[in-house]
A = this chain, B = another copy of it.
């Protein structure tokens, strides 16, 4: 497969299994139909053993590849608040969570495909090489065939290289970008894009050209994109996931699990 063609292949990933006990979150059964990779919460910021089992079973049924979605130990803050943890702590928190999820994956006769850090851990790793390396090292220690999912054009890339693991470069079609390739924080106006047509347009540009228009209107080079993050927490988000799943192929884009693209 040549470089150009490869650019027209993408994975669609979504955060799932975020319910906890009697608390229900996300429209997992709906969105699971329109993705190729599921990032499953592992009990630290969301998820619990019953939810993890159920979500792995759902992914299996719909032929979606499974990954771990480890977070900081902060259910109250849903893993979105940074905690001053040391890299050594990050490494062991990640290992613990990958291991926990892998038990359910094993029990269902599947294989774990990837690891995508959640929330504050993801955002920190994108800019702090010590945290990115702690995550990459944890993956390498557990299974160096696993794919690390991280923000395109960020610290994730060099961390993955250092530990010899594959990286799936991620982009967010529904989030505004700064000129330096970082995401505009959700707290700022215009950070989240909701117009489905605009999202499709951005997704196509990201995947086929490796570029995005920044919030100020300048073109930002993201490099090749391997996976797009879609959301499944509102009916509107599921609609967008469905639209991406159905319309990207019309633009000559092939949707496959990241492990297939990164073969």
Contact = CB atoms under 8 A, between A and B. Distances in A.
21 contacts: A22-B80, A23-B25, A43-B96, A50-B88, A50-B89, A50-B92, A52-B96, A53-B95, A73-B76, A74-B74, A84-B120, A92-B104, A96-B100, A98-B103, A99-B99, A99-B102, A99-B103, A100-B100, A102-B103, A106-B141, A107-B138
Interface in A74-94: 74-78, 80-85, 88-89, 92-93
A20 B78 CA distance: 10
A84 B81 contact: yes
Interface of A: 20-23, 25, 43, 48-50, 52-53, 73-78, 80-85, 88-89, 92-93, 95-104, 106-107, 120, 138, 141-143
Contacts of A52: 92, 96
Contacts of A76: 20-21, 48, 73
B43 A77 contact: no
A51 to B, nearest CB: 9
A73 to B, nearest CB: 6
Pick from A25, A77, A143 the residue with the most CB of B within 10 Å.
A77
Copy number of this protein in the oligomer? Answer: 4
A26 to B, nearest CB: 11
A94 to B, nearest CB: 9
A18 to B, nearest CB: 9
Contacts of A100: 96-97, 99-100, 103
Contacts of A88: 50
B77 A83 contact: yes
A197 to B, nearest CB: 29
Contacts of A43: 96
The 3 closest A-B pairs by CB, nearest first: A99-B103, A23-B23, A49-B92
A80 B22 CA distance: 10
A99 B100 CA distance: 4
